[in-house]
Amino acid sequence: MPPPPMLEKLISAKNARKKSNPPQQQQPAPPVSAPPSRKKASIRRAFGGAANRTFLTSTPKSRLAATASNKTNQSSPVSLLSAAPNDATPSEQELHANDGTERLFHVSTDHAVGACSSAGWQLLQSPHSPSSVMRSRKANQDSYAVIAPFQHSLFVGVYDGHGAFGRAASQLVRDVVPDHLEKALGPASELSTLSAEQRRRRIVGAFSAAFSDAERALKDTSRQIDHAFSGTTATCALLDSEQLYVAWVGDSRAVLATRDSSGLHAVDVSWDQKPCRIDEKKRVRLAGARITRWKKNVGPQRVWLPDEWLPGLAMTRSIGDTILSKYGVVPTPELSVTRVGAQEQFVVLASDGVWEFMSSEEVVQLVDDMRSRSMSAEQAASALVSEAVRRWNIHEQVVDDTTAVVVYIRGSATDRRERGLREVLRTRRRQRVDPAVGIPMGVDADGRLHSFSPSNSSFNSHDDDE
């Protein structure tokens, strides 16, 4: 029986290739090396996806990127991939694996760090029926960075891009901010000699300069990024043995978990810069922008041009979105500083995909539950993102990009248990509890401290009056 026509064509094509490409002389076999582990292969996929093939070439030469070939053994793993839901199909799992817009460097720190990022879902017109829509996976516009040592500290940054060039914006800002911040801070030896107020002034100025430099980088015409209608949030933290500094623009949030005699508490160390925030609304309106819902009654409050329904930005500060620059939407960050003591447990930085349907208290309780069951920071970040995505699927047809970085302060629960409960109790008895520890304070441009009482709420952007 003759082969089917299609198979016959394939056989003919194969034979033709053989004739046109005669076999070459056999080369000596290369030295045999051990096959890469599954984890290393996954790391290569994360850095080598089609969307970010040039990823590693953009890393600064002064730092060591965490790749399969040079990643050192660490006491706690650092996530390079987001975890797919248990019921995900293979294609969805592959999409999760290719979410890797992160820039995760070699981490050498006493703190355990884990991260997870997941691309969202959008509604598109069905190609089969113009009157119907279908859900489609979107490109992930979130990114993050974890760098240690960084001026004898740990640096963490989360960036949530938006607009047609949001992905390019968040990844560029992710690269620019830590490099320019380190230059602006100056040598670590010099920083350690400054007084507390001088140090705060130096850090405030360094973050402001780094964020402004990032916006200037977006305006570089050679990058071909539409910075007028695209931009990104930036929430960055510097954590050392004594203090936690947080600088932010936009609505990505940082939360500190602290424990006292009454239990575990969520302490917001950033304040979402949304149009419903009274002081931010006043500032932007004084600059000439309009703040209202779309056509007065649809969706959350947004920032608009004075005479046009553009661009409808859902935050009052941003790196980018330069069409609103003269109307108060600026890259100038706010800063807070918190003294870290024995009662501080962990820090969570996350994009608003996490906070849309989860409060700070819920996030802290979820991570603490994972930690109490000896789960790693990586597993906690993955569980947090999965729970946030689950809630999006309950409440909405679309899902926002969702990113979380979890930092266990002073190691994981497993590390503490290995030291022994008695040793932990003896250590706590020796430590004098300072009432100022664990209380965030705002920092102004001159390095002076002021009271800081953020009132973040997962649904405040929809409920507040205009």
pLDDT at 103: 60
Highest mean pLDDT among 8-12, 145-149, 368-372, 423-427: 368-372
Residue type, position 355, single letter = W
Q: Is the pLDDT of residue 80 over 60?
A: no
Q: Among 311, 319, 297, which residue's Cα sits nearest to residue 248? A: 319
Residue 388 placed within a domain:
yes
pLDDT at 20: 45
Q: What is the pLDDT of residues 261-275, one digit of tens each?
A: 999 999 999 999 999
Sheet with 112-118, edge to edge strand ranges = 112-118, 402-408, 344-350, 253-260, 263-268
Q: What is the pLDDT of residues 159-200, one digit of tens each?
A: 999 999 999 999 999 999 999 999 999 998 898 899 988 999
Q: Is pLDDT larger for residue 188 or for residue 440?
A: 440
Pairing verdict, β 142-150 and 103-107 = parallel
Nearest-angstrom CA–CA distance, 297 and 366: 34
Q: Is the pLDDT of residue 403 over 70?
A: yes
Contact 232, 173 (CB under 8 A): yes
Nearest-angstrom CA–CA distance, 460 and 304: 19
Angle between helices 90-97 and 38-48 (to 10 degrees): 70
Q: Among 227, 216, 249, 219, which residue's Cα sits nearest to residue 317? A: 249
Residue 286 placed within a domain:
yes
Lowest mean pLDDT: which of 84-98, 285-299, 356-370? 84-98
Nearest-angstrom CA–CA distance, 446 and 254: 23
CATH of the domain at 346: 3.60.40.10
pLDDT at 346: 97
Residue 27 placed within a domain:
no
Contact 119, 167 (CB under 8 A): no
Share of the chain above pLDDT 70, in %: 69
Residue 344 placed within a domain:
yes
What is the rounded average pLDDT of the residues 117-128? 91
Lowest mean pLDDT: which of 126-135, 177-186, 211-220, 350-359? 126-135
Count of domains for the chain: 1
Residue bearing tokens 């029986």: 1
Instruction: Please state the separation of Cα 107 from the chain's center in Å.
Output: 16
pLDDT at 419: 53
Residue type, position 465, single letter = D
Dig out the tokens for 203 from the structure: 């850090």
Residue 14 placed within a domain:
no
The mean predicted confidence, pLDDT, of the chain is 79
Supply φ then ψ for residue 39, to 5 degrees.
Answer: -65, -45
Contact 407, 113 (CB under 8 A): yes
pLDDT band, residue 362 (cuts 50/70/90): very high
Q: Is pLDDT larger for residue 35 or for residue 385?
A: 385
Contact 255, 156 (CB under 8 A): no
Distances (CA, A) of 302 to 95, 233, 359, 422: 31, 15, 21, 54
Residue type, position 452, single letter = F
Q: What is the pLDDT of residues 414-435, one digit of tens each?
A: 445 545 554 544 444 444 445 5
Distances (CA, A) of 419 to 77, 327, 397, 415, 425: 20, 55, 47, 7, 11
What is the rounded average pLDDT of the residues 10-20? 46
pLDDT at 130: 81
pLDDT band, residue 366 (cuts 50/70/90): very high
Q: Is the pLDDT of residue 42 over 70?
A: no
Q: Is pLDDT larger for residue 232 or for residue 260?
A: 232
pLDDT band, residue 2 (cuts 50/70/90): low
Q: Is the pLDDT of residue 14 over 60?
A: no
Q: What is the pLDDT of residues 199-252, one digit of tens each?
A: 999 999 999 999 999 999 999 999 999 999 999 999 999 998 789 999 999 999
Q: Is the pLDDT of residue 387 over 50?
A: yes
Q: Is the pLDDT of residue 324 over 50?
A: yes
pLDDT at 128: 84
Q: Is the pLDDT of residue 8 over 90?
A: no
Euclidean distance between the first and final Cα of the chain, in Å?
A: 78
Q: Is the pLDDT of residue 40 over 50?
A: no
Residue 3 placed within a domain:
no
pLDDT band, residue 125 (cuts 50/70/90): confident
Tell me which residue range forms the domain holding 164. 40-83+93-121+132-463
Residue 35 placed within a domain:
no
Residue 167 parent element (H or E): helix 166-185
How many other CB atoms sit within 10 Å of the CB of residue 25?
4
Residue 387 placed within a domain:
yes
pLDDT at 10: 44
What is the rounded average pLDDT of the residues 385-391? 97
Q: Is 157 helix (H, G, I), strand (E, B) or coil?
A: strand
